[in-house]
Chain A
Amino acid sequence: MNLRATGIIFRRELQTYVRSPMGYIVAAVVLLLDGVFFYATALGPEAGERLSGLVLAGFFYNASGLTAVAAVALSIRLIAEERQTGTQLLLDTSPVRDWEIVLGKFLSALAFLSAITVATLYIPLLILVNGKIAVGHILIGYLGLVLLGSAVLSIGVFATSLTRHQLVAAAIAAVITGVMFLFWELSQIVGAPLSRVFAAFAIHGRHFAGFLSGLLHLRDVAYYMAVTYFFLFAATKVMEAKRWE
């Protein structure tokens, strides 16, 4: 497998995040809200006393929602914008395979999202300095955020491959992600065996619970990787179909 073209597209897309205001806006909003939520739940007058591990779990819980929203925001332009501006023709008529385009774009968004996520590290470090938490808990929590971000990004890449309109792509990505978040709530109110099916497919809830408390389950890692693979594969197929249209 030759990843040369993927690398070329990865670098270009990453430069776009750095050059455009959009990347900075997403990063600023996520970091601000992470800080505000942390202050409100752990440091503010309403916070109360809690175990450090629970404070860290609370941070990862809030961060997971923000990561999902940021993933949608970062991914919707990836392919739709190319179609909108006509640059997709350059990719379509270049000796580059569709999966290389999809992978390059996805990895650039994942790298940028991961950088934003890592920039919140000061929060767990504050807890580490003032309380007692395991470094492993922090690492596993961050792994969970990156895996969740990866899954939602892949949904966004799939959505953006479907249309030339970024707003439509955002709506499609939001609906798919929202429904997959809701699967966990649904699993709590319906009876078996449907509850097990919903829980198994929920993008949050059961699969993210381990990461919140610092427990690493191979099952959860496999789930997020499978979701990522599925939606990137679907996006590639859409690109293949549209390339010749």
Chain B
Amino acid sequence: MVQLTDVTKYYGRKRALGPVSFEIDRGDTVGFLGLNGVGKTTLLRILACGLRPSSGIVTIDGLDVLRDPHEVRKRVGYLPELPPVYGDMPVSDYLTFVGLLKGMSREQVARRVPEVEEYARISEVRDMPTRTLSQGYRQRVGVAQAIIHEPDLLILDEPTHDLDPVQIMEMRGMIRALKDRHTILISSHILPEISETCDRLLILNDGKIVASGSEAELSERLMMSRRMAVTVRAGGGAAQAPEAVIAAVEGVTRVERASAAGRGDGDGADAGPATYRVEGAADLRATVCRALVEAGHDVIALNRAERELERVFVGLVGGAKS
């Protein structure tokens, strides 16, 4: 669906992007992750045919963006960081305008506008000028304009920019619902936003792709170890403390107590639950759980460390920065 070969972009002498090369298959949802200013927007604008690469080849659906920009633009829906809405236009008029601009017939637009309004949950503001809408509604109108012509490729640049937590959750839901119908590219500097909606991540730093793969692949490949958090209530008759039981499991390289809650200090019997961070060479969740139960302890919770991928991300981009 999308193919980039040695693509670069220079602003004067300053290199903003590249060289980057990658392929994206039809139906994939891919996240571009990176700190601000690493070239995400530049890359997405090149793919949306709004920016000419300085060198390299970009094809979308087999069409070269420089040779057939007109045809490529018909196949792409693009939501920039700030939704490109005309403040004086009511929502419905705006979506009609965009549909016609994208090459749809009046009949197609008349059928499609109510559909996207319903999908983006903006039907109740359809007659309101876009300048009177909240940021959340504007962002939804932005998504609606990007999908109105049912593009093969949907490009969303920071789709949760400036949204509150509830709006962010709603936006994630909208993106998940679009995954069946479009190939989707999303950019963000916020890891959870990307990792929760995308099948594959491309991490950018200094205009280059420094890592790519699924969340699990990236963690495995780049961390060389797996982390988990285990919350244990120490059993009264247990011979060994939970920490010692975990440390004795084969493959565990490190155990660190993270927190304790309850009456005691967590080491002895009748103490409240305590959480331990465990690092190992592989996924040791099942083994650790079994060992603790066999030793007479209660396992309250067992999770992969929540911020595992974040560590990868910070290691890749933050480390390079510092």
Contact = CB atoms under 8 A, between A and B. Distances in A.
A100 to B, nearest CB: 10
Contact of B101 (A15, A16, A89, A90): A90
A96 B102 CA distance: 8
Interface string A159-184: 00000000000000000000000000
Contact of B88 (A16, A91, A97): A16
A94 B97 contact: no
Given A8-B101, A95-B74, A90 B84 contact: yes
Interface residues of A, number: 24
Given A20-B88, A90-B145, A96-B101, A244 B82 contact: no
Contacts of A87: 84-86
Contacts of A91: 101
Interface stretch (B19-27, B43-51, B217-225, B292-300): B43-51
A86 B98 contact: no
Contacts of A96: 101
A97 B89 CA distance: 23
A19 B88 contact: yes
Contacts, number: 61
A64 B269 CA distance: 97
A95 B80 CA distance: 17
B50 A93 contact: yes
Contact of A12 (B82, B87, B97, B145): B97
Question: Which range holds the interface residue count of chain B?
Answer: 20 to 34
A85 interface: yes
A143 interface: no
B73 A95 contact: yes
Given A16-B88, A19-B88, A93 B49 contact: yes
B86 A95 contact: no
A12 B103 CA distance: 15
A8 B100 CA distance: 7
B127 to A, nearest CB: 13
A88 B48 CA distance: 13
A89 B88 contact: no
Nearest to A20: B88
A97 B48 CA distance: 15
A46 interface: no
A29 B247 CA distance: 85
Contact of A16 (B71, B76, B86, B103): B86
Contacts of B102: 94-95
A66 interface: no
Given A8-B100, A94-B101, A244 B52 contact: yes
B78 interface: yes
A239 B103 CA distance: 20
A5 interface: yes
B51 A94 contact: no
Nearest to B51: A244
A97 B82 CA distance: 23
B271 to A, nearest CB: 58
B31 to A, nearest CB: 20
Find the residue from A19, A89, A90 having the highest chain B CB count within 10 A. A90
A16 B89 CA distance: 8
A157 B86 CA distance: 19
Given A8-B97, A95-B103, A96-B101, A89 B51 contact: no
A132 to B, nearest CB: 46
Nearest to A90: B84
Interface string B9-31: 00000000000000000000000
Contacts of B80: 86, 89
A9 B52 CA distance: 24
A76 B19 CA distance: 39
12 contacts: A9-B101, A15-B88, A15-B93, A85-B86, A86-B80, A87-B86, A89-B84, A90-B84, A93-B50, A93-B78, A95-B74, A95-B101
Please provide the 4 A-B residue pairs with the shortest distance between their CB atoms, ordered closest to farther.
Answer: A244-B52, A90-B84, A95-B73, A87-B84
Interface of B: 48-52, 70-71, 73-74, 76, 78, 80, 82, 84-89, 93, 97-98, 100-103, 145
Given A90-B145, A93-B50, 20 more contacts: A8-B101, A15-B89, A85-B84, A85-B86, A86-B80, A86-B82, A87-B84, A89-B78, A89-B80, A90-B84, A90-B98, A92-B50, A93-B48, A94-B98, A95-B71, A95-B73, A95-B101, A95-B102, A95-B103, A244-B51
